[in-house]
Structure 1
Amino acid sequence: MNEETGPTTVRVFIALAPPDHAKEELARELRPAYGTHPRMRWNRIEDWHITLAFLGELPVETVPLLRRPLADLAAAHRAPKLALRSSGHFDDRVLWSGIDGDLDGLHVLAADVRAVVKQCGVAFEDRPLRPHLTLARARRGDLSSTAEIAAEFVAFRGTPWLAERLHLVGSNTSRSRGPIHYRDIEAWPLGSDNGSGS
């Protein structure tokens, strides 16, 4: 429940999250880079996610409108089998891990999520989906680090996993001081009818 003294808006996005074993597999590979590049702003492992739709700041009273439609959508969708793969960077600032596996299923899920959000009357910037996991951001004056780290992990191939839950995630707003932290507002199991099995 929201406290009366709580915030009036919340930053919201809808995402998938790798299971703990997949995150730990990548974290083991990254550990040396944590030591050699301490000035990078490394995301917390528990915050790693694949954004399907970024909704931005919403009034807190809007969030409950999304719950039932997203729950129904999740139940109707097969869980895509994905894997973390390779690494790269956006504009020398953002270090990421790529996503492999059922990318067609991932794109269909993202498109359906965005359609449901629009049907709920929530306006947001519908950016093209670029499936990735954000790992870190470079501080100004240290932009070469992202390319160096990405080059070390281009050969990384993670173990495949099922994205079993659809997450509605909130974070402190962009105006907040300090690092951004994420929290699940709610999460729903994706459908388990995998058809051909494993």
Structure 2
Amino acid sequence: MEKRSHYFFAVRIPEHTKLVMRDHMEKIKEMIPFSRWVHYQDLHITLAFLGGAPPDKLTEADKNVRNALSDETALKLNINKLGFFGSVTSPRVFWADTEESTHLQTIRKKVFSACEQAGFQLETRPFRPHITLARKWMGEHPFQNDMLKLWEKLQPMPLSFDAIDVVLYQTHLNKTPKYEAINIYPLTHKHIK
């Protein structure tokens, strides 16, 4: 029996970037022990996590987000380093970071507001754009901050990609990859900053 689905809005990572990330993750995995690594097809930047969403609220959020993003343009993002959430010695989430982008912050605010207007109670912590790579440290020794320098060795220059759409994903916990794109919200291609 499948657990109740969760839904979230996210920036989709393009396929060619996911493949580069997959190769980097394979190398990182050999040196940094986390118990659960994200399938490369599931890589994304979460904008708003809805949780288990009633159909009427989901329909309203879909409509609101589509309207909110109707005049938004595509943007260039740069993956430039690794980071973590949780304990310094035993992180719970290991992620890749993107360089600061005011355009991404604007898109996130629009998506977040559109979901709130549909009646969703969302996470109130400040938005920290990231791409989750793995969860739950399981090393025999404490995590070392030097491990974060691995990214610079694998990717000396930032890994750039064009974010051309936002996606509403549904989670399927019994599948791999586990995120299914339900709706796509194209960001117009007038110009990429």
TM-score range with shorter-chain normalisation? 0.7 to 0.9
Alignment CA distance shift 1:147-1:135 (3 Å): farther
CA distance in 1, matches of 2:92, 2:140: 9
Match of 1:186 among 176, 183, 192: 183
* Cα separation, partners in 2 of 1:32 and 1:180, compared to 1, 3 Å: closer
For residues 111 and 65 of structure 1, the distance between their equivalents in structure 2, rounded to whole angstroms, comes to 17
Q: Which runs of 5+ in 1 are unaligned?
A: none
1:168 counterpart = 2:165: no
Pick closer, same or farther for the CA change 1:146–1:16 going to 2, 3 Å: farther
Mapping of 1:119-158 within 5 angstroms? 119-140=117-138, 144=142, 147=145, 149-154=147-152, 156=155, 157-158=157-158
Structure 2: distance between partners of 1:159 and 1:146: 24
| Aligned position for 1:100 | 99
Contact 1:22–1:158 (CA<8 Å) still a contact in 2?
Answer: no
Within-5 A mapping of 1:76-95 = 76-91=71-86, 92-95=91-94
Q: Which residues of 2 match residues 17-36 of structure 1 at below 5 A?
A: 17-36=12-31
Cα distance between partner residues in 1 of 2:124 and 2:51: 11
Asked if structure 1 preserves the Cα contact closer than 8 Å seen for 2:78 and 2:159, the reply is yes
Give secondary structure in 1 for the equivalent of 2:66: helix
1:116-175 C-alpha deviation (Å, 9 max, x unpaired): 111222222233110110000125565735856433224533432211011111114xxx
Aligned to 2:67: 72
**Preserved CA contact (<8 Å) 2:96 2:131:** yes
Describe the SS at the equivalent of 1:168: strand
Which stretch of structure 1 is more off in the superposition, 144-153 or 108-117? 144-153
Give 3-state SS (helix, strand or coil) of 1:63's partner. helix
Percent identity, please.
25
Q: TM-score, normalised by structure 1?
A: 0.80
Amino acid at match of 1:107: Q
Aligned-residue offset at 1:6: 8.5
How many residues matched? 187
Q: Is the 8 A contact 1:88 1:154 kept in 2?
A: no
Instruction: Provide the C-alpha distance between the structure 2 equivalents of 1:42 and 1:16, rounded to a whole number of angstroms.
Output: 19
